[in-house]
Homo-oligomer: A and B are copies of this chain.
């Protein structure tokens, strides 16, 4: 089945999900956030992995949707914690309604995510739920680390990679692993696909960090330099802090905690200049390439015919080359 057919089936499944009706205050925010769309990368990865083994992926549609519902639950709660006003260009749930609603609607989404997995054949259900629960807890651990890092003076690059592995990559890894497991793929294959997902996930997040500074404003769709403005400890910033000389360090530190709109352009320009001096863009691209190649090695090791891997390879490439 080609990638666009899978995508269409997935979108149909997601639009047909019913979360509940009463009280409307609980369920309306769920419909709202799920309707905001997004790239649907996680469920698509699950379907593409599954499709490598069988052309029929009907058994994957609800489990794949479960991962997307779970992902949106984490966005809902993360946005409260990060006090984010916007999500995909629209008001966040806690802004449009309030924090209590965002907490509670998120809670129900987590429950619904589990429910969507319950149609999995009983023989393999406990294993999938175990893996899903492990990934789910790790995503929370990643979010906690992310919050911890914002409070800390120093964060090392390995610590940062560990954080984004938990917060972002493990769920991509799980999606692929589940796709393989549900089609009866060999253990070794599902392990390789999980590792492929983890490495793609890390590369994906590094690409996100990069686009925030070096993205094309027109294509990026959000403010370029937002991470710089909010002093976020991204891969770029942490690398710069490690490599900066005294005067570059002073230049970065002088701008810290200055978040006023009037100085936005000036701050972004000044920090970007330091990044440029240190060739942070090139270094980040190199790291992305390292994780991308690791991912590809794991995909190479999967024991299916090469032409069965094309869609997954293409999606990975798209994610690395994306401009937004």
Q: Contact residues of A with B, CB < 8 Å?
A: 20, 22-23, 25-26, 77, 80-81, 99-101, 103-104, 106-108, 110-112, 114-115, 118, 122-123, 125-126, 129-130, 133, 136-137, 140-141, 143-145, 147-148
| CB–CB B122/A123 < 8 A | yes
Q: B148 and A25: CB pair below 8 A?
A: yes
**Interface pair A118/B111, CB less than 8 Å apart:** no
Is the beta-carbon distance between B140 and A26 smaller than 8 angstroms? yes
Residue contacts A-B, CB under 8 angstroms, 10 given? A25-B144, A80-B103, A104-B143, A106-B107, A107-B110, A111-B136, A112-B137, A115-B130, A122-B122, A125-B126
Inter-chain contacts of A129 with B (CB < 8 A): 114-115, 118, 129
Instruction: Determine how close the nearest CB of chain B comes to the CB of A6; give it in whole angstroms.
Output: 26
Q: Provide the bound-state CA to CA distance between A130 and B117, in Å.
A: 10
Q: How many copies does the complex hold?
A: 2
Closest partner residue, chain B, to A127 (CB atom): B118
In this complex, the member of A22, A80, A99, A126 whose beta carbon has the largest number of chain B beta carbons within 10 angstroms is A126
- Provide the residues of chain B in CB contact with A23, threshold 8 Å: 141, 144-145, 148
Closest 7 CB pairs of A and B: A26-B144, A81-B100, A115-B133, A111-B136, A108-B140, A23-B144, A111-B137
For A123, give the chain B residue with the smallest CB separation.
B122
Inter-chain CA distance A137–B112, complex, in Å, is: 8
- Cβ B133 vs Cβ A111 within 8 A: yes
* B residues less than 8 Å from A133 (CB atoms): 111-112, 114-115, 118
Q: A134 CB to closest chain B CB, in angstroms?
A: 8
- Contact yes or no, A140 B111, CB < 8 A: yes
> How far, in Å, is A101 (CB) from chain B's closest CB?
8
B118 close to A126 (CB less than 8 A): yes
Cα–Cα distance between A134 and B141 once the two chains are bound (Å) = 27
Closest Cβ of chain B: how far from A262's Cβ, in Å?
Answer: 29
Contacts of A141 in B (CB 8 A): 20, 22-23, 26, 108
